[in-house]
């Protein structure tokens, strides 16, 4: 992948630019303050929780999060807090008021592109994670370009057709990559109905496999966050080679 490309499609950590073309680091993105802790101190803190060898694996990992709604924003924040080295955030949509019950955005971010808003939030929570923000809708035509260079793909779309497109594309075109996906998290079913299943060697599916918001008409932050946690944990287990 080219090392210099447009900021709003994603830029390397040390070559990011704002709308005026000014360089800044991830920790300075959109006004986030540079932390008083160093990158080495952050790594040491994470290593004390996860173990040094595993944290080194997390730090080398490159993960794409496709769709930054209730699933994707929660997945990305969890992975950032775990110290995943590089996250690619992909979504064409903007933050809306109805998103706030389950998505990792603030009321003051309504109207912002989700890719930009989430990158801002990740910079505050995990300033040394390298983030690439893409304001694009993934299609079969651009998926190869958008996902190039990532080790693991997290499908976090709303629509069944978009989900199927991405999963099928990844399985057919990226046999070396892992993909996590979700199906079923709507309604007020018990939390323990959400599980993670290994469908194929490199494909993991999270959710209850049944509930549909179009049928239940209700979606709660707790079950969405739980399903997102399953997907994020599947990513960590893949990197740790626990599966």
126 found inside a domain: yes
Q: Does a structural domain hold residue 195?
A: no
Residue 107 lies in a domain: yes
What is the predicted pLDDT for the residue at 32? 53
Give the pLDDT band (50/70/90) at residue 215. low
Q: Which of 112-121, 157-166, 213-222 has the highest mean pLDDT?
A: 112-121
Tell me: the pLDDT tens digits for 129-162? 999 999 999 999 999 999 999 999 999 998 889 9
Report if residue 83 sits inside a domain.
yes
In a domain, residue 185? The reply is no
Q: Residue 103 belongs to a domain with what CATH number?
A: 3.40.50.720
Measured distance CA(20)–CA(26) in Å, rounded: 16
CA 55 to chain centre: 18
Identify which has the larger pLDDT, 142 or 11: 142
Q: Which domain holds residue 79?
A: 7-175
pLDDT at 42: 94
Residue 227 lies inside a defined structural domain of this protein: no
Q: Which helix (H) or strand (E) holds 228?
A: helix 221-240
**pTM assigned to the model:** 0.85
210 confidence band (pLDDT: 50, 70, 90)? confident
- Domain assignment present for residue 239? The answer is no
Name residues whose C-beta falls within 8 Å of residue 22's C-beta, 6 or more positions apart in sequence.
none
Please give the order of strands across the beta sheet that includes 86-90.
130-134, 86-90, 62-66, 152-155, 178-182, 203-207, 195-200
Domain count, the chain: 1
């Amino acid at each position: 992948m080219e090392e210099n490309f447009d900021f709003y499609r994603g830029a390397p950590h040390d070559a990011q630019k704002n709308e005026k073309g000014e360089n800044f680091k991830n920790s300075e993105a959109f006004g986030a303050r540079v932390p008083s802790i160093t990158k080495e101190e952050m790594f040491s803190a994470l290593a004390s929780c996860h173990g040094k060898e595993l944290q080194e694996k997390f730090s080398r990992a490159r993960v794409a999060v496709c769709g930054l709604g209730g699933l994707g924003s929660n997945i990305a924040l969890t992975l950032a807090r775990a110290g995943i080295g590089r996250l690619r955030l992909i979504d064409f949509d903007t933050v809306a008021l109805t998103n706030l019950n389950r998505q990792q955005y603030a009321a003051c971010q309504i109207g912002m592109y989700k890719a930009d808003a989430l990158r801002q939030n990740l910079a505050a929570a995990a300033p040394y994670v390298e983030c690439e923000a893409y304001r694009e809708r993934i299609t079969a035509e651009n998926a190869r370009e958008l996902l190039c260079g990532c080790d693991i793909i997290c499908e976090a779309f709303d629509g069944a057709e978009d989900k199927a497109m991405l999963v099928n594309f990844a399985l057919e075109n990226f046999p070396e990559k892992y993909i996590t996906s979700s199906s079923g998290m709507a309604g007020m079913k018990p939390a323990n109905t959400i599980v993670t299943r290994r469908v194929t060697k490199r494909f993991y599916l999270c959710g209850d496999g049944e509930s549909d918001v179009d049928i239940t008409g209700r979606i709660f932050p707790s079950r969405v966050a739980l399903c997102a946690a399953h997907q994020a944990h599947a990513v960590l287990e893949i990197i740790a080679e626990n599966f």
